[in-house]
Amino acid sequence: MNNKKPRLCRPFFLTAGLSTLVGLLIFSKADSGITPNDNRDLDGTDGNRVSPVGCDATNGYPFIRFAGTGAKHELNIFLNHLPNNQPVSEVLPSAQDPTGNWGASTSNMQVSLRFRRPEYLKGESVPAVVILRNLGPLRRGWWRNALPDHGYRFTVWHGGKVVTWGRPQQKPDLTPHDVSNLAPPLAPYRCYLSSKTQDLTVIDLRRFFDLKRLGKYSVQAQICLPSSDGKAEANIFSGIATFEIVKQLSE
């Protein structure tokens, strides 16, 4: 048996951070924690959805959660659009977000995958921005893996090779937690997504793949959730997003 690891894969490491309550935004205890520096989960409530002015559940899909590495940066992108009522394609129906690489709707759920830049330098972080959207009329709940994958699997195509990374669903954490303990549990936790809302998760692909080779990479995200009737599981796929590893960024 060949035990050699695929060239694109590499191990990952877990660290924990702090949770903080700030104004209308909740640094969620369940999702926070890669580091305390700009990597915490920003979890809004149904009453404080983060979306541009004029966007609601009738003409768009408000965000109720920002999670993962760089979540605060992503939140600021959207907050900067609020004063001028600037349109934000990420909250619009997938047909109006042509660069969002939205996958097909499956069991009333939909996944988008995008990269904020077309090019990254060798050795630089490559943050994948994954949006999970609930298209249905009912609130959906599931057990979500904690850091670093948040329950997502990724497939990467590069140089004629295809590598898929995914962590099995971890055992649910059913034990009570001391609320004074700010470190988030690393076991899965219960997650909910209200009707016509979405959440955004930023995941650095270098945690799972060796991205040192120059050239173009194609990536697809996937998440497995209970079906809308709760009787089975549904695999929801994003479209395919691309980026390039280069020696020098284009001007």
pLDDT at 78: 82
Q: Which one is the CATH code of 21-89+101-246: 2.40.30.170, 3.40.50.150, 1.10.3720.10, 2.60.40.3880?
A: 2.60.40.3880
Q: Distance between CA atoms of 171 and 162, rounded to whole angstroms?
A: 28
94-113 pLDDT, tens digit per residue, is 999 999 999 999 999 999 99
Model confidence at 174, pLDDT cuts 50, 70, 90, reads: low
- Beta-carbon neighbour count of residue 88 at 10 Å? 17
Which range, 166-175, 180-189, 225-234, is most confident? Answer: 225-234
Q: Where are the domains of the chain?
A: 21-89+101-246
Helix-then-strand count for the chain, H and E: 1, 14
Higher pLDDT, 108 or 183: 108
Model confidence at 175, pLDDT cuts 50, 70, 90, reads: low
Across 23-37, 133-147, 162-176, 206-220, least confident range: 23-37
Residue 90 has pLDDT above 50, yes or no: yes
Q: Distance between CA atoms of 102 and 223, rounded to whole angstroms?
A: 13
What is the average pLDDT score of the chain?
Answer: 75
pTM for the full model?
Answer: 0.76
Residue 103 DSSP SS3: coil
Q: What CA dihedral angle connects 46, 48, 51 and 52, to 10 degrees?
A: 140
Residue 1 has pLDDT above 80, yes or no: no
pLDDT at 157: 97
pLDDT at 142: 87
pLDDT at 184: 52
